[in-house]
Amino acid sequence: MSADTSGVSSEFEVFNSAKIRKGFYLFILYTIAALLAIFLYTNSGDTLDALKHIESSYFLLVLGLSFLDMTLGALRNHIYFMVMAKEVTFWTSIRANLANIFMGAVTPSQSGGGPAQLYVYYNAGVSMGKSISVGVLNLLATIIFFVVSAGFSIYILRNSFSSLMRSIIFFCFVVFVIQLVIYLLAVWKPESALKIIQKLSRKLASILPRFEKRIASFTEKIVMELAAYKETCSMFLKKHIYIPILAVFLTFILYINKFIMAYFIMVGLGGSGDFLTVISIQALVLFISYYSLSPGASGIAEISIAALMASVISKDSLVIFAVLQRFFILYLPVIFGSIVVFKEAGFALKRKRHPD
């Protein structure tokens, strides 16, 4: 089943090649700068020697968990389409998830991930309203996980934070709680969420009159999205409530799997950190870097990993751990996602040249 995707690609500029290149270059630049800084700060002459002690069997396990991670990311989307759009194949959901990861990695605050996922589903014949509702419901599940996991991790590591780290974590926690309230309203009471958004928009426009038109345009898009997914959300909450509950469960499994990967990477490097401590640290790393302004949280994530994991792994292994953790959790899916995006971008270009 196909759809005319030219409108989607033009409105969201999903695969803008100039923006993708710029984001990719910044992603590489910030990543290299952060890893170099970690290396210079921690290197005692034994960093390269740490590579000799890597136990390859653990990394075969981590590789398997990395593919499981990509599969789980697709599955938590696909369970919704199994009910409301049975023509959508699981392969489409895998491609949509990989496109989301790649575009999230090359755009600030992962802003390009959602539109890329939306485009892939739309190109497979799924209406925008249905795709948006799935995205919103899964984002809500993600926020629920972050609030719960961060609260748990803060308790476990309560005696391990500097004053600066406490302030950063507190700020992130407030942001996520506010988002949780807004998205819960958006799902359960979209009219209430709409009123809040419009009030905030008017307030922001009064503070920044020069950007009034842009704020109004952005608000209008949000209003349209709210109207689009309202019906679908209502269907799941009233008739298929088990699907959102299952999505929350899969979200917990998805992210815990990422944290387990980090634990086995540490073990593979000869580390002996406590399992619960490592899991808690990884939860906070992702919590802090999730909405980082840099593409793919590049720079911020690597520095956060080194700063927080320094308590459970030797200084000589920190930069190696940061590279391997980011490779299996992000870089590898980004490679696969780039293939999906380039194919989708080529298809979009052909459709634009030959709309019939």
pLDDT at 227: 62
Average pLDDT over residues 140-157: 87
| pLDDT, mean of residues 302-319 | 85
- The model's pTM is 0.79
Which run of H or of E encompasses 240? none
Alpha helices in the chain, H assignment, sequence order: 6-12, 17-42, 47-50, 56-84, 90-105, 113-123, 128-156, 163-188, 190-207, 212-239, 242-268, 275-289, 300-309, 315-326, 332-353
**In this predicted structure, what is the pLDDT of residue 347?**
54
Structure tokens at 89: 């194949």
Percent pLDDT > 90 in the chain is 25
Q: Which two three-digit tokens encode residue 244?
A: 């959102």
Judged against a pLDDT cut of 90, whether residue 342 lies above it is answered with no
pLDDT in tens, 250-305: 999 999 999 999 999 999 888 877 899 999 999 988 888 876 778 888 888 888 88
pLDDT of residue 11: 43
The per-residue pLDDT for 193 is: 66
Q: Write down the mean pLDDT value for the chain.
A: 81
pLDDT for residue 74 is more than 90: yes
The pLDDT of 157-167, averaged and rounded, is 75
Taking only the tens place, the pLDDT of each residue in 2-57 is 344 444 444 445 667 778 888 889 899 989 998 888 888 877 666 666 666 677 78
Q: In the numeric block, which tokens belong to residue 214?
A: 């842009």
Burial 195-204 (b: 16+ CB within 10 A, else e): eebeeebeee
**Residue 1, pLDDT score:** 40
Give the domain ranges of the chain.
Answer: 6-43+70-353
pLDDT in the model for residue 313: 85
Predicted confidence at residue 77, as pLDDT, reads 94
